[in-house]
Structure 1
Amino acid sequence: MSLLITGGTGFVGRAVVKQLVARGNTFQIVSRDSKNHPRDSMVPLPEPGKLFTSATIAGTSCIINLAGESIAGSRWNSVVCQDIINSRVKITSCIVDSILQNQKMGLPYPKVLINASAIGYYGSHPKRRFTESSGNGHGFLADVCRAWEGEAVKAESLGVRVLRLRFGHVLGLDGGMLPKVTLPFRFGVGGYIGDGQQWMSWIHLDDLVNLILQAVECEDWQGAYNACTPNAVTMQEFMEILGRVLGSKSRTRIPAFLATILFGDMAQEVLLKSQKVYPKRLLQQGYTFHYPCLADALTHIFKK
């Protein structure tokens, strides 16, 4: 199987590529960052308004779409928010339009699209448990995810099997939230944000990579899936467990108002939002998590 991976040089993308290399899969990477990969494995990112070449699409069995600007890379403003939207929605639209182009020309096209999304789709609730059947929520990230998934779903009418994987917080040393929240513990001032009772839904990077690659192969998988473990924790619990693993107690607390001053709207949308998400469809279809419990996941990560 030949794969095309957008965002292949990002945090999750690098881990997916590493596994594809180990398995001997044929793949090409779409990214603006080509310095870490051989030139012959790269596909240029189309210019705005342009499509992938017919040959690129024809030579691809499956597309794994992981493209998207980091939501935690910098303080949000109108420019950053627009980049967050465009980097997800426009590239997904480009992928679907490129598939349609080949279909109209009678050329081969990929029959599988694995499209990243996020649990931000559901919005926030202090107690409610979200499953894949829960509706779309409110807020900036909920709007982004709705538009993002909306573009991906269009490929279903072209005969493409589409999976929308709604990522929880992805835990690993090379990206995501973990390096940021770990740093204060190194100085003995680690702690939680807000009242600590907001729910955090998470997944070990290794589990997410395994899940993505299994989704490519399992022909009966289609639609939306929550890519997080069944064991959500509160932020206070997360920080206490992290502190024990690191050998440093969770000692401090950043009040919600101060977090908003420090991080702006991102604090309300990411750090203070409560999302208790359950991967109902994954469990129904027999997926087994290697790291379902947070203590085991963090212990494995920091022993690597």
Structure 2
Amino acid sequence: MNLLITGGTGFVGRAVVKQLISRRNSFQIVSRDSKNHSRDFVVQLPDPGKLFTSEVIARTSCIINLAGENIAGSRWNRDVREEILNSRVKVTSCIVNSILQNQKRGLDYPKVLINASAIGYYGSHPKQRFTESSGNGHGFLAEVCRAWEEEALRAESLGVRVLRLRFGHVLGMGGGMLPKVIFPFRFGVGGYIGDGQQWMSWIHYEDLVNLILQAVECEEWQGAYNACSPNAVTMKEFMKFLGRVLGSKSRTRIPAFLATVLFGDMAQEVLLKSQKVYPKRLLQQGYTFKYPCLFDALTNILKK
């Protein structure tokens, strides 16, 4: 199977590429930045508005779409919000439009689209447990995920098997939230944000990579899936486990108002949001998590 990956130079993308290399899969990466990868499998297309051509898509059996601006990369303002939205929706739209053009030209086209999304789709609730049947929530990230998924769903009408993987917090040292929250612990001032009671849904990066690659091959997988561990924890519990693995207690707390001052709107949308999400469909379809428990996941990541 020939694979095409967008976002292959990002945190999750690099981990997926590493596994594809070890399995000797045939693949290419669509990227605006080829410096981190061999030119042998990078399609470098610098214009974001022309990421794909019908010819590139026609050589592909499956597209893994991981493209998207890092939501924690900088303090949010109007420009950052637009980039977070457009980097996801426009790339996905380009993919689907290219598939449509292939059909009109009588060319072969991808049979599978694995499209990233996020648990931000559900919005926030202090107690409710979200499953894949839960509705779209409110807020900026919920609207981003809705628009993102709607673009991907257009491909279903073209006969493509579409999977929408709603990522929880991806844990690993190559990116995501973990390196940022570890830093204060190095100085003995690690702690939780807000009241610590907000739910956090997470996934070890190895589990995420494994389920992405399993989704490529499992023809019965289709639709929305919550890509997170079945064992969500509160922010306070997360920091307690993290401190235990690091050998440093969680000693401090950043009040909600101070988190907003420090991180802006991102604090309200990400750090203080409560999302207790359950991967009901993955478990029903037999996916086995390698790291279902947070302490084991953190130990594996931090002891390497």
TM-score with structure 2 length normalisation?
0.99
Structure 1 residue 282: Cα displacement: 0.3
Write the distance in 2 (CA, Å) between the matches of 1:50 and 1:72. Answer: 26
User: 1:26 corresponds to which residue?
Assistant: 26
**1:66–1:116 contact (8 Å) kept in structure 2:** yes
1:231-242 paired onto structure 2 within 5 Å: 231-242=231-242
Structure 1 residue 31: Cα displacement: 1.2
2:302 matched to 1:288?
A: no
User: 1:8 corresponds to which residue?
Assistant: 8
Following TM superposition, the consecutive aligned residue runs of length 4 or more in structure 1 with deviations greater than 4 angstroms are: none
User: 2:120 corresponds to which residue?
Assistant: 120
User: 1:157 corresponds to which residue?
Assistant: 157
Structure 1 residue 83: Cα displacement: 0.3
2:170 matched to 1:170?
A: yes
> Residues 259 and 40 (structure 1 numbering): CA distance in 2 closer, same or farther, change over 3 Å?
same
Secondary structure at the counterpart of residue 103 of structure 2:
helix
User: 1:180 corresponds to which residue?
Assistant: 180
1:84-103 paired onto structure 2 within 5 Å: 84-103=84-103
Write the distance in 2 (CA, Å) between the matches of 1:98 and 1:248. Answer: 51
Q: Identity rate of aligned residues, in percent?
A: 85
AA aligned opposite 1:209:
V
**1:69–1:87 contact (8 Å) kept in structure 2:** yes
2:60 matched to 1:57?
A: no
Structure 1 residue 152: Cα displacement: 0.1
User: 1:269 corresponds to which residue?
Assistant: 269
Write the distance in 2 (CA, Å) between the matches of 1:133 and 1:87. Answer: 26
- Structure 2 unaligned residues grouped into runs of 5+: none
Deviations 1:77-107 (A, max 9, x none): 0000000001000000000000001011000
Write the distance in 2 (CA, Å) between the matches of 1:95 and 1:117. Answer: 15
Secondary structure at the counterpart of residue 50 of structure 2:
coil
User: 2:189 corresponds to which residue?
Assistant: 189
AA aligned opposite 1:97:
N
2:210 matched to 1:219?
A: no
Structure 1 residue 52: Cα displacement: 1.7
Write the distance in 1 (CA, Å) between the matches of 2:37 and 2:88. Answer: 22
Cα root mean square deviation, aligned = 0.8
Structure 1 residue 51: Cα displacement: 5.7
Structure 1 residue 46: Cα displacement: 6.4
**1:51–1:97 contact (8 Å) kept in structure 2:** no
- Structure 1 unaligned residues grouped into runs of 5+: none
> Residues 91 and 22 (structure 1 numbering): CA distance in 2 closer, same or farther, change over 3 Å?
same
> Residues 167 and 157 (structure 1 numbering): CA distance in 2 closer, same or farther, change over 3 Å?
same
Write the distance in 2 (CA, Å) between the matches of 1:119 and 1:45. Answer: 30
How many equivalent pairs are there? Answer: 304
AA aligned opposite 2:207:
D
Structure 1 residue 131: Cα displacement: 0.2
Write the distance in 2 (CA, Å) between the matches of 1:150 and 1:54. Answer: 21
Deviations 1:175-205 (A, max 9, x none): 0000000000000000000000000000000
